[in-house]
Chain A
Amino acid sequence: MLSDKSTFRLLSAPALLLLAALTVIPILLLFGLSLTSWSLLVPGSFKFSFVNYAERMFSDENFVHSLGVTFYYIIVNTLIQMTLGFLIAFLLFRYTKLRFLRAIMIIPMLVPPAVVGLMWKMMLIPNLGGLDYYLGLFGIPAIDWLGNPGTALAAVTIASVWEWTPFVIVVMLAGLDSLPRSPLEAAVMDGASTLKTVFYVIIPMLRPIIIVTLLLRIIESLAILPVVFMMTGGGPARATEAINLYAYHVGLEYLDIGYAASILVAFIFILLIFCTPIILSSLKSDSK
């Protein structure tokens, strides 16, 4: 008969092997491919070369531009989602009568990302869209929102705020519910205003949850692809093309596999640059 220990190993083995085959091997392969100049359109181009990292990336304006768009998404989308999410969660926490809205609020999170993109595209198409008429009432002229670089970027932000703010609300509300009551009551007793209570009592107490949520939101903002793909396809004039959509275009439309792989390696490094400090600071607050 098997010992308990080997039984547990046996139970875990299939899942671990499958997951390793599907995640570790591709990442190693990705690093390998990034060191080649392999393009499916150029026969015999499968050669070891450092050219992607040494030259191409830094002379490629589109790559640099896609970096800028990526930083825009990380900073603007995440900040709006976090602020709005916290505000709504706080209001739901305060007005307990509104709690039944919680189930409705999570709907956007579950809507397929492709549909989120198409839905907001349909909302913003002149004449067809459900927004122009109301904006017209406020004297804002109907324009082709998705046809101008600046407004297209804002449109993508609105769609991503629509999609992911509910996540922040749900997590923050759970966090607020789990807070001990006494510090809050003490603050009220001492006559602290609502604003002061939020900034000096609630936010510091929620810090670990805020950090984890921020981390997840940043990762998701980096990976934003379906929404952009469906709304704008990265245009107009690459205005909404973040780094992973650029890698998609390079690798799977121009079939420049080696270069696309090196862009994705750069992408992984950006992910690490943004996430490591957040993880470290969360570890620090754990050990306190």
Chain B
Amino acid sequence: MPKTLAEKVYDAHVVRSADGEPDLLYIDLHLVHEVTSPQAFDGLRAAGRTVRRPDLTMATEDHNVPTLDILSPIADPISRAQVDALRRNTAEFGIRLAPMGDRDQGIVHVIGPQLGLTQPGMTIVCGDSHTSTHGAFGALAFGIGTSEVEHVLATQTLPQYKPKQMAVTVDGELPPGVSAKDVILAVIAQIGTGGGQGYVIEYRGSAIEKLSMEARMTICNMSIEAGAKAGLIAPDQTTFDFLQGRPHAPQGADWDAAVAEWSTLRTDADAVFDAEVHIDATSLTPFVTWGTNPGQGLPIDASVPDPADFADEGDRRAAEQALEYMGLTPGTRLRDIEVDTVFLGSCTNGRIEDLRVAAELLRGKRIDADTRMLVVPGSVAVKAQAETEGLDRVFLDAGAEWRGAGCSMCLGMNPDQLKPGERSASTSNRNFQGRQGKGGRTHLVSPAVAAATALTGRLTAPADLIGA
């Protein structure tokens, strides 16, 4: 029977299946961070269990970590206790940890690919919804809860039902200044935050094939914002080139065997998807969100919508609540919205390519005097690479802050937070109420829009800067 890429990966990992029961799926890589794991390790201890495959498990400190003064103990005692718990747990169970200050430390979804641990055809899980990021390599990667973290630690498997299959095809050439972030925001605005529910999304089409690995990760990352279980992209030469030579990538004869297997990881020509969505890349423009869920987004040329124009009662109420929280009036041009803070970072857009795009727009310029810009590399390695390229100087000379690696203002578990009523343009993935700090207001944008916005202090497309 013809199969989709996701079905091939899924089927290759079924340990056991029986009628009336979920399949037991083998997990190739389990990524762990400090927030969703302490109760799982406690559960193991309470039941007298061990970690079945510490060698297929990798932990990092990311959500709580400060981005300033990282070699001192964490000032917040509760954050420190959580990080300390991870250190104790990984030491006790023999799991590799990249702690603060380590060369491998960073956001969990940045370090997996960077180390070459994320490879095509794998099953990858983490107690974190943005695990879908790893799907960019043609892996089946999805977020799990803490009980499931415990299950994977104990058995290296998970009970699963085969998800439904959705194809999102993006054809054509992306216009200049339009990036992967705009593609995925447009997809979510089109299908809605529940549109992908129960599905794995395969992104395909000529526009996707042309994207770099970083850009593909940005797209797969936000599959969860469309409600999907996972998102993935068939591996190709771009994927192999990214992986070759990375610390945990196969070498020599193993590399050849791996590439031979990875090359089979494509959806069969006559495979059937349960749902299909088509996007014309040539029609896309920079996208920004105006509301409090990632589906509430529009092209930057648009204006804040009027809730009265929504046909569905629930959507109307949601829009009213969102505008009230965001402090926005219907009809305001999105370009006229002033921001206090620009955040460049996160597992969506904290990779080297994202920093390069933003730095190019900022080079030789100064950001708006009333706007602060926080640049937070996704990992220690991204930070080091950026510094080698001199990007840190570009950001600092423009008046931005250059920070240490971590999740930072993506979710504000560390001191990097918005104040009540403050407004941000953020390259992260969630504009939920209070996500970046109590009462903070978030507009999701691409790295290019973030940099352009930092220069003017208002939501701005890179193209607006020409001749400005």
Partners in one complex: no
